[in-house]
Amino acid sequence: MEITGEALKQVAQLLGAAIAIGLGTLGPGIGIGLLAMGAMQSIGRNPEAAPLVQTNMILAIALNEAVAIYALVVALVLVFVGVG
């Protein structure tokens, strides 16, 4: 039995979406972890700088998360808009 035509399109869409979001969050996950590690270490070293470090950490984490969001947008477009 073959998967052809309409069913193939649907399979490709869903599989593509799953792979996009699955692989796309690997990098940002590690990146955010590294960011937080650096922030924790610097706060531990110098608790008085905590507000400064925290503000910059939040900004950097949001920028890093944006990369994961790009992958999510690709997955969402595949699921809800799909291929022509």
Partner 1 sequence: MKNLRNLLIFLVVLGLAVAACIGPVLLLSGSGIPVAFPHVQLPPEALTERPILGVPGFYLTNTLLSLLIADLVVLILALIAGSAARRRLKLYEANPKAVDAEGDDLMVPKGWHNTFEALIEFIYNLANQVVGAEWGPKVFPIAVTIFLVVLTANWLHFIPLVDSVGIMHCAEPSKGVVGYIPVEIGHTGIYRLGFEEDNRIFPSGQTSAVCPEHGAEGDTAHGAGEGEQAVDESGIRVVVTPFLRTAATDLNMTLGLALVAMVSVQVFGVMKLGPSYFFRFFNLPALSKGFVGVIELAVSVLEAISESIKVVSLSLRLFGNIFAGAVLLMVISFLIPVGAPLIFYLLEVLIGALQAFVFAMLTLVFSSVAMAGHGDHAGEHH
Supply 6's token pair: 């309409």
Q: How far is the CB of 62 from partner 1 (least distance, A)?
A: 4
The window from 3-11, 28-36, 40-48 that contacts partner 1 (CB under 8 A) reads 3-11
Specify the residue for token string 């997955």. 75
For residues 13-38, one letter each, b for 16 or more C-beta atoms within 10 angstroms of the residue's C-beta and e for the rest, the string is beebbeebbeebbeebeebbeebeee
Output 43 or 79, the one with its CB closest to partner 1. 79
Which residues contribute to the site for partner 1 (CB under 8 A)?
Answer: 6-7, 10, 58-59, 62-63, 65-66, 69-70, 72-73, 76-77, 80-82
